[in-house]
Amino acid sequence: MKFENSKYSDLLEYKKISLPYGNFYITKMFIISELKEGIHVDHAMVSEIISKFSDEITIGLKVGYIANRINSYSFDPQLWLDFNNDHDFLIATAIISYNELNYMNATIEKQFFKKSLKRCHSLEEAIEWMQGLEEFELITN
């Protein structure tokens, strides 16, 4: 389910950023991505995405990331290692898989991400998990 078609688009305050390869929804706690069918996510694309969020992701800000994989695309798991070394604003990641192949790919990616990465079967599961993370409670208290 697309974020804009979910109950959360009415419940959460967010900003939408549309790029040629997908849409991103920025909330106070997390960023949701919905990338287009058939793209390949590489280092250059990740760098461009991060630069687009430079105003939203300020020094010291911690957010979660939800990959709402409504479409099929390729992702180099090595990017998680590079990301871990270059950036420290993500608290955790949730990957929503709508089929078994995507779920298996997320399992491989989990091995590369140093922080918490949850594999989910629905947008609701991912958002509820993200909102319940202790890491956010520690930041706000």
pLDDT in tens, 82-101: 776 666 778 899 999 999 98
Q: Report how far apart, in Å, the C-alpha atoms of 16 and of each of 19, 22, 34, 101 are.
A: 10, 11, 11, 28
Domain assignments of the chain as residue spans, ordered by start = 3-140
Query: Using CA atoms, how far apart are residues 94 and 27, in angstroms rounded to an integer?
Result: 15
| pLDDT tens sequence across 24-59 | 999 989 999 999 999 999 888 888 887 877 666 666
Residue 141 has pLDDT above 60, yes or no: no
- Check if the beta carbon of residue 97 is closer than 8 Å to that of residue 103: yes
pTM of the model: 0.88
Chain centre to alpha carbon of residue 119:
11
| pLDDT tens sequence across 88-139 | 778 899 999 999 988 998 888 888 888 889 999 999 999 999 999 987 765 5
CATH class of the domain at 3-140: alpha beta
In this predicted structure, what is the pLDDT of residue 112?
81
| pLDDT tens sequence across 57-78 | 666 678 899 999 999 998 887 7
> Which has more pLDDT, 136 or 9?
9
